[in-house]
Chains A and B, each alone.
Chain A
Amino acid sequence: MDFISILSIFVMACFVGYYVVWSVTPALHTPLMAVTNAISSVIIVGALIAAAEGGDGLAKWLGLAGVVFASVNIFGGFAVTERMLAMYKKKERK
């Protein structure tokens, strides 16, 4: 993909982000931070590429370190979000 297509995707995604995030209810702002944290660990893709194909020895180990950091975040972030969201309950109807 050329730079302009990538930039277009980025700019559009910023707009999508703007509207989607404004629609998040303030009560869920903490889970929002936890889940954005988890999904920003999609950076693991870069770490995986480095670990898989980093010819140079150091690059491979840096990649593996990146995989560990990002996995902590992915598993931790989604699990903690799940835990928080499970706590939000409606009033029981009597």
Chain B
Amino acid sequence: MHEVAQLPWGVALAYLVAGVLFIFALRGLSSPATSRAGNRYGMAGMGIAIATTLYTHDVVALPEIIGAIAIGGVIGFITARRIAMTDMPQLVAAFHSLVGMAAVVVGAAAYLSPAAFGIADPATGEIFAASRIEMGLGVAIGAITFSGSVIAFLKLNGNMSGKPILLPMRHVINLGTLLGILGLVAYFTQDQAPWVFWTVTALSFLIGFLLIIPIGGADMPVVVSMLNSYSGWAAAAMGFTLGNTAMIITGALVGSSGAILSYIMCKAMNRGFLSVIAGGFGAEAAVSGGEAKEQRPWKRGSADDAAFLMQQAESVIIVPGYGMAVSQAQHALREMGDLLKKEGVSVKYAIHPVAGRMPGHMNVLLAEANVPYDEVFELEDINSEFSQADVAFVIGANDVTNPAAKTDKTSPIYGMPILEVANAKSVLFVKRSMGGVGYAGVDNDVFYMDNTMMLLADAKKMVEDIVKALAH
């Protein structure tokens, strides 16, 4: 046990206030109406934390620090203004990597200059044993967050194939590396030699990379949530090193937030967290899906057919998926919804929790296109309404509508909760071609139903054509 440098009570209180404001920031997100106030609380908390730190330390390097904040701030602000909403998953991954890297450099700075952080014995200059563990873990988690997020970014941004990359013996290699890191962190308490610290850092960068390469593109919602969680734990570990309550509270909040999101995503795919993390999902399924290709009859429709069908309908439920994001069809889709509403058709949107590449991805895109959020429904709130709906309009979603998840025990997606579009009187299915199967590599029975009409085209193009057909 050690005493971290005693903070004056006013300072400790200021950090606590910052931590509480961060709690309010998350609390605000319980409803879109209060969310913006929440975001302001978050900003205030951050302002207090930064001001307090600068106020309580001998800041010799103030011009440099202000310069550093200005550089980072301008880069961050411009990126945030310019980024397309469809690129949000990449942006979040990139931001995660920065938190990870910041944790690594803070850990390294604390290791090189422990006296500045008050974590060294003033007599011997040795770092306290407890601080070494916290520092070692903080750097390790930070490095994993960094390299893992970089890979996630490359996969989401399309610089790297979304297909899982499977190394031979990967489980053995990964487990060995993880144990090596833990062993070295334990050894670090006995010997604070530079090689121990830097080996921990290097191995952690490596394992972050190894952990994410075998995970396929559509499992990215889980990965992004998991890395979100790690970035929190990294901040918490550093908070322990510095005895800083703002960092500890925030770290715990972010850590649990990411963990809960990962859990929700896994549940929505009916897969265990470990099975997702072990990776390789898309690769194995695609191989087995290749053999049982049978030709079944299906119906193809045109934009005019679709427009006619929906005009006659009383209610239409739109089911968007990743394909809508890829072709940026959300604006055209909203126009279509508006035209239908003018004709007196009731229009609702149904969102599956894992649609898209990150939690809530579809909701943001629909919000961007000005779809009011009270027309957008979650899976459990709308699933019973499909049986009364005249048309289910599926756009760029596949696995999340596949009835095989309920009926076929051998299917890789068996047990996954699905949107029951098959119950609607008719189904319009927008898809680029009949050839491609969804991420899980399983054929979808919905394509071949009597009441399904396949609209084969780029999603945005098809919706625009339907809008034209509706307009005249």
Complex CA gap A80/B245 in Å reads: 26
In the complex, what residues of B have CB within 8 A of residue A67's CB?
Answer: 65, 68-69, 72
Contact with B along A51-94 (1 / 0, CB 8 A): 11111101110111111111111111111111111111111100
Interface residue B343 (Cβ < 8 Å from any Cβ of A): no
User: In chain B, what residue has the closest Cβ to A79?
Assistant: B80
Q: Which stretch from B90-98, B210-218, B284-292, B307-315 is at the chain A interface?
A: B90-98
User: In chain B, what residue has the closest Cβ to A1?
Assistant: B243
Residues of chain B whose beta carbon lies under 8 Å from any beta carbon of chain A = 1-4, 7, 12, 18-19, 22-23, 25-27, 29-33, 35-36, 38-39, 42-43, 45-46, 49-50, 53-54, 57-62, 64-65, 68-77, 79-81, 83, 85, 88, 91-92, 95-96, 98-99, 101-103, 105-106, 108-110, 112-113, 115-117, 130, 224-225, 228, 231-232, 234-236, 238-258, 260-261, 264, 351, 353, 358-361, 363-364, 367-368, 370, 372-376, 378
In the complex, what residues of B have CB within 8 A of residue A73's CB?
Answer: 72, 76, 95, 98-99, 102
Whether A71 lies near B367 (C-beta < 8 A) is no
In the complex, what residues of B have CB within 8 A of residue A59's CB?
Answer: 108-110, 112-113, 116
* Residue among B2, B99, B372 making CB contact with A41, cutoff 8 Å: B99
In the complex, what residues of A have CB within 8 A of residue B108's CB?
Answer: 59, 62
User: In chain A, what residue has the closest Cβ to B101?
Assistant: A69
Q: Nearest-CB distance from B22 to chain A (Å)?
A: 5
Contact with B along A32-63 (1 / 0, CB 8 A): 11111111111111111111111110111011
* Residue among A42, A51, A64 making CB contact with B49, cutoff 8 Å: A42
In the complex, what residues of A have CB within 8 A of residue B7's CB?
Answer: 1
Whether B228 lies near A33 (C-beta < 8 A) is yes
In the complex, what residues of B have CB within 8 A of residue A48's CB?
Answer: 50, 53-54, 57, 65
In the complex, what residues of A have CB within 8 A of residue B75's CB?
Answer: 72, 76
Whether B106 lies near A91 (C-beta < 8 A) is no
| Interface of A (DSSP majority class) | helix
* Residue among B46, B116, B244, B261 making CB contact with A29, cutoff 8 Å: B261
Whether A52 lies near B374 (C-beta < 8 A) is no
Residues of chain A whose beta carbon lies under 8 Å from any beta carbon of chain B = 1-3, 6, 9-11, 13-14, 16-18, 20-56, 58-60, 62-92
Whether A45 lies near B68 (C-beta < 8 A) is no
Q: Nearest-CB distance from A70 to chain B (Å)?
A: 5
Q: Nearest-CB distance from A74 to chain B (Å)?
A: 6
CB contact under 8 A between A70 and B238, given known A40-B99, A51-B65, A52-B65: no
Complex CA gap A58/B116 in Å reads: 13
Question: Given A46-B109, A60-B109, A80-B88, list of 17 further CB < 8 A pairs?
Answer: A17-B252, A23-B30, A26-B360, A28-B29, A33-B359, A34-B92, A36-B232, A38-B46, A40-B232, A43-B102, A45-B50, A62-B106, A69-B102, A76-B80, A77-B76, A85-B36, A88-B35
In the complex, what residues of B have CB within 8 A of residue A49's CB?
Answer: 53, 57, 116-117, 242
20 residue pairs of the A-B complex, CB under 8 angstroms, read A1-B12, A6-B239, A9-B249, A13-B251, A17-B255, A49-B53, A49-B116, A51-B68, A54-B112, A55-B113, A59-B116, A63-B109, A66-B105, A67-B72, A68-B69, A73-B76, A74-B46, A76-B95, A80-B88, A85-B35
In the complex, what residues of A have CB within 8 A of residue B33's CB?
Answer: 90
* Residue among B4, B60, B367 making CB contact with A87, cutoff 8 Å: B367
Complex CA gap A76/B76 in Å reads: 4
Whether B113 lies near A9 (C-beta < 8 A) is no
